[in-house]
Structure 1
């Protein structure tokens, strides 16, 4: 499966800086642990199962459907790491308020492996 776009190493620099800033702000402002990963589809920040941000010229993510009322994914974005950190923190708190077993059973979230991130990037391209 082809990733949505494969970034050359030199094009990872700005997204990596923005992702690192997001991780720092999530930790400092909201006490939320997160990690930066670089699958072929770009740069992502893993915040929580079901809450992964994609970082390129913007920071974007899919808003978790906790109520299970949406027909399709709802994606949103932020231009700055600060704006993304505050909004992602709200989604994180919403997810953490429900036991992970319930989130998995309802299909609201699914656990992703590193290989799955490549598939996610490819699906976003279509």
Structure 2
């Protein structure tokens, strides 16, 4: 979580775009309070967004290394773990929340690992 949280502000900013107006209002208020930041710190474009992309990719490079060190398809080898569920949950949220071109960007990282993760069956 410490790898991902610093890099997800722009993802959080996209969530409000897919919610109903009332839900978006509540979501924005809660996230601003949770992070003690104004909403414009979550909803931005340009160079600041690129820095967030770089942080997110760096985080997923580290997570990818964990998968590479195992002797199976999961972080703990052939055993699906809570860590795998957390990773898949975040990846699925990106696919749902981000714009199509943004998801395409993530899905290409690490040889397509993150798109593949969402299609792999749990049983080996």
Higher helix share: 2
TM-score (norm 2): 0.26
Higher Cα Rg: structure 1 or 2? 2
More RCO (CA 8 Å, sep 6+): 1
Higher strand share: 1
